[in-house]
Structure 1
Amino acid sequence: MLEGLPPNDAAHVMRVSASRIQATRISDIISETFDPADVAVTHFESPEDENIWVVEVFAGSAFDPEMLAKLVTVAAGAEIAAAITFEDIEQKDWVAASLEGLKPVQVGPFMVHGSHDRDRVPPSIIGIEIEAALAFGTGHHGTTQGCLAAIADAARLGKPRRILDIGTGTGVLGIAAARLFRTHVVASDIDIVAVRTARANAVANQAGPLLSFHHAAGADAHVLRTGGPYDLILANILLAPLKRLARPLAGLLASGGTIVLSGLLVSQVPAALAAYRTQGFHLVRQRHIEGWATLTLQRHHG
């Protein structure tokens, strides 16, 4: 998994091995400390030993080895911090390296995988192939998994006709919704690299005609408004933009529609709920996966 939008100038990597719990703590504290546009974090199970997890941190000019070592000490102790290694890497090689060895992730009817696991997808499962790229969303992060589960939940309530995916990243959520419901999905991202990546992923997953991708900040873009109102809105981003989007997204939602929010630490749930409750939303379901929360909300009738 990659926390946030990976930096385009990534030329340095920090690596350290720890237990799964320690690796999660290290990833969380680093992702909370640094701007996700400058520093990317990944942690994954070691291919050699399932009891060992590897944390990798990628950055360019923002790379601060001393600060990283201090954060690892806080999260996992001095002994783990003493085992940190720092390396310089070839630009663009870092993303592939960070995802190498990741296993397919199945959530409900979906399996997110790389091209090397294409043959492992059962016929009854919707396989979503996502390769290493400069955009968030490989399916291994708790927020992506929570959103995929929420999309599966929505299928049990009926078929949404219009779907919006805000902050699409790799496009994994929009692709999942388009293929499950066989309906059009409007997707947007503030980062042009993400838009290009998501569009290519949609084509690679035979979902290109079902999705339209737009380079847009927030939810006020004309192209997003004209595509609504939406029966299902997906927003897997961060707390601050989620709070700012509460009112605009409420205006884009169809009567009886559903909003799925993620990109939230469990501790940030009250703040997110407060922002959306002022817009008439109530909590339908809350999922916690590896310290991350996914919220499913609907608006009060009337």
Structure 2
Amino acid sequence: MSWIISLPCTRDEAEALAGDIPELDALADAPVVVTREIDEASGRWQLDAYLDAKPGPALLKLLQALVPSAKGEKPHVEQLAEQDWVTLSQQGLEPVQAGRFFVHTSSYADRVPAGSTPFLIDASQAFGTGGHDTTAGCLAMLDRLARAGASPRNIADIGTGTGLLAFAGLALWPRAKIIASDIDPASIFVTQGNAAINGVALGRGGGRLTLAVAPGTDHPAIRHRAPYDLVIANILAGPLITLAPDIASATAPGGHAILAGLIARQMEPVLAAYRAQGFRLAARGGSTEWPCLLLVKRRRHGWRRKERAFHRASPSDASFGSW
């Protein structure tokens, strides 16, 4: 038997819950939380939490605390007989077409458009099913970079989440070496499963994906492979700014960086941090509210492996998980 807890919420609250939720992650049997838009005209959103056991008062109180706008609302608790919470949670996940890529759940496996590059990414503990504007923006930017003639041979995906952006990189540049990292071991476990589902080879060398659990760029394998022709970081504005020196050190002169996870009002502070490290803005994509930035590292800033140590993320840093 499964259970669902539903509460109304605002769009801002829904977007704030799109990343890690430390209050829930600390629970032994954490529910799977999905937010969805109920009515575009009125701006109504809803939080749905799926779990295997009947929820207690403490969990209901915790969920209500995550959506302050629902203060005074009684959570709707319902028992779901003989149903799979994964299937239920995916009912609101529409497929995403971004550039040549078509990202879908199992529910849409028979509806792949001809000529597209499909990826099957089901709901999981990691973020990055393609449905959020930041992930879709990164996919479109990767496609745009490839159509412009770029051919990176060495790529790093920092904060990989489900592995989707790394998979897209290998689809575009099959001979490239790609390393994907995340601070959350669960994300790397999810990426391994998604790689098997989507026929992505794991391992070292060209055409294979290497995985690493790491805060930011702090991992021997990431340092050893640098400098990179392309660094992808779809995380959050705070970590993007904190990691600017490290990403600059890891990017080859003339190399590209794709940054996302920031909202529009955070774009200038993020750009300022990367301009200070020798990057220039080459293109802006994504949506109006969730921009995706394509940066190029100026050639006068060379690779500086011996001159500085990589930043080691402190416990106070925001999550490095992917959107």
Q: Normalising by the residue count of structure 2, what TM-score does the alignment of the two structures yield? A: 0.74
**5+ long unaligned stretches in structure 2:** 25-31, 51-57, 203-207, 301-323
Is 107-116 or 61-70 further displaced after alignment?
61-70
Cα distance in 1, alignment partners of residues 90 and 61 from structure 2: 20
The question of whether the paired residues in 1 share the 8 Å contact of 2:181 and 2:211 is answered with yes
**5+ long unaligned stretches in structure 1:** 1-10, 18-22, 74-80
Look up the equivalent residue of 2:157 and give its one-letter code.
Answer: D
In structure 2, the residue matched to 1:254 is 252
In structure 1, the residue matched to 2:230 is 232
RMSD over aligned Cα, in angstroms?
Answer: 3.0
The question of whether the paired residues in 1 share the 8 Å contact of 2:13 and 2:67 is answered with no
The question of whether the paired residues in 2 share the 8 Å contact of 1:135 and 1:170 is answered with yes
Pair 26,278 (structure 1): closer, same or farther in 2 beyond 3 Å: same
Write out aligned runs for 1:148-167 (5 A).
148-155=139-146, 156-167=148-159
In structure 1, the residue matched to 2:166 is 174
In structure 2, the residue matched to 1:99 is 90
| CA deviations over 1:130-153 (Å, ceiling 9, x no partner) | 011100101100110111111112
Cα distance in 2, alignment partners of residues 41 and 265 from structure 1: 22
The question of whether the paired residues in 2 share the 8 Å contact of 1:105 and 1:113 is answered with yes
Q: CA deviation at 1:54?
A: 4.5
Q: CA deviation at 1:228?
A: 2.1
1:87 to 60, 77, 81: 77
Pair 69,124 (structure 1): closer, same or farther in 2 beyond 3 Å: closer
In structure 2, the residue matched to 1:185 is 178
Cα distance in 2, alignment partners of residues 65 and 217 from structure 1: 28
The question of whether the paired residues in 1 share the 8 Å contact of 2:104 and 2:119 is answered with yes
Look up the equivalent residue of 1:258 and give its one-letter code.
Answer: H
Cα distance in 2, alignment partners of residues 297 and 56 from structure 1: 35
Cα distance in 2, alignment partners of residues 295 and 127 from structure 1: 24
Higher helix residue share = 1
The question of whether the paired residues in 2 share the 8 Å contact of 1:142 and 1:290 is answered with no
Corresponding residue SS for 1:214: strand
Look up the equivalent residue of 1:282 and give its one-letter code.
Answer: R
User: Which structure has the larger Rg over C-alpha atoms?
Assistant: 2
Pair 89,150 (structure 1): closer, same or farther in 2 beyond 3 Å: farther
Write out aligned runs for 1:205-284 (5 A).
205-209=198-202, 210-284=208-282
Corresponding residue SS for 1:143: helix
Pair 65,172 (structure 1): closer, same or farther in 2 beyond 3 Å: closer
| CA deviations over 1:255-296 (Å, ceiling 9, x no partner) | 211101111111111221121111011111223426212111
Pair 41,260 (structure 1): closer, same or farther in 2 beyond 3 Å: farther
Cα distance in 1, alignment partners of residues 110 and 143 from structure 2: 23
Corresponding residue SS for 2:102: strand
Q: CA deviation at 1:111?
A: 0.4
Q: Does 1:113 align with 2:101?
A: no
In structure 1, the residue matched to 2:188 is 195
Q: CA deviation at 1:118?
A: 1.4
The question of whether the paired residues in 2 share the 8 Å contact of 1:163 and 1:184 is answered with yes
Q: CA deviation at 1:24?
A: 3.2
Q: Does 1:126 align with 2:117?
A: yes
Is 169-178 or 52-61 further displaced after alignment?
52-61
Cα distance in 2, alignment partners of residues 214 and 61 from structure 1: 33
The question of whether the paired residues in 2 share the 8 Å contact of 1:96 and 1:133 is answered with no
Pair 169,89 (structure 1): closer, same or farther in 2 beyond 3 Å: farther
The question of whether the paired residues in 2 share the 8 Å contact of 1:130 and 1:201 is answered with yes
Cα distance in 2, alignment partners of residues 71 and 187 from structure 1: 37
Look up the equivalent residue of 2:11 and give its one-letter code.
Answer: T
Q: CA deviation at 1:237?
A: 0.8
Cα distance in 2, alignment partners of residues 137 and 283 from structure 1: 24
